[in-house]
Chain A
Amino acid sequence: HVQLQESGPGLAKPSETLSLTCGVSGGSLNNYFWIWIRQTPGKGLEWIGHINYVGTTNYNPSLRSRVTISVDTSKNQFSLNLNSLTTADSAVYYCARRIPAAAGGGMDVWGQGTTVTVS
């Protein structure tokens, strides 16, 4: 079955760029949306953005100016870049898979999450 695993630094400095990768094992990137979500105690679950297997992206308007999501089908992974970090970007970052809306639309596979602290 499909598994997702986030990787990246646990600590970043203000003003720097955070780069996280989500490795996909047990399945292909095709036909799904690939999501980045973050969670903080104060703001709960926040959708950052998503990409499909052909590279079409959609971003949260509140983060759009700072976010880039990309996909690498050769490595079966997708990535998140978030620049101009502030302490408010400290969160648990999750990657997830979303079924197309016409087939249900739910996020059915999640990574375990990676904690990022900006300090």
Chain B
Amino acid sequence: KQEVTQIPAALSVPEGENLVLNCSFTDSAIYNLQWFRQDPGKGLTSLLLIQSSQREQTSGRLNASLDKSSGRSTLYIAASQPGDSATYLCAVLILTGGGNKLTFGTGTQLKVEL
């Protein structure tokens, strides 16, 4: 059974700091990995998707890396801002009987302080 773990569970940083969120998964037979953002009481917003054949993806101040063989991914946020405060979830996509489903980690709750 695929298990996804995120460390740390919570993180508080001052504005402007660069930070790294970690995600690990137990079964390397994934097709892709996604990082999502979730604001309190809201749905999920997809930030970055990395195909299993890729090593990293970048979008603005965000950079996600994937080491499939070791079952690890990181999300790097540069020059953090208070608006980045949210819960960040990673999820891996596996095939199931012709379809697909996402298996999520428990998230990292980020707070960026002024």
Do A and B belong to a common assembly? no
Interface residues of A (CB under 8 A from B): none
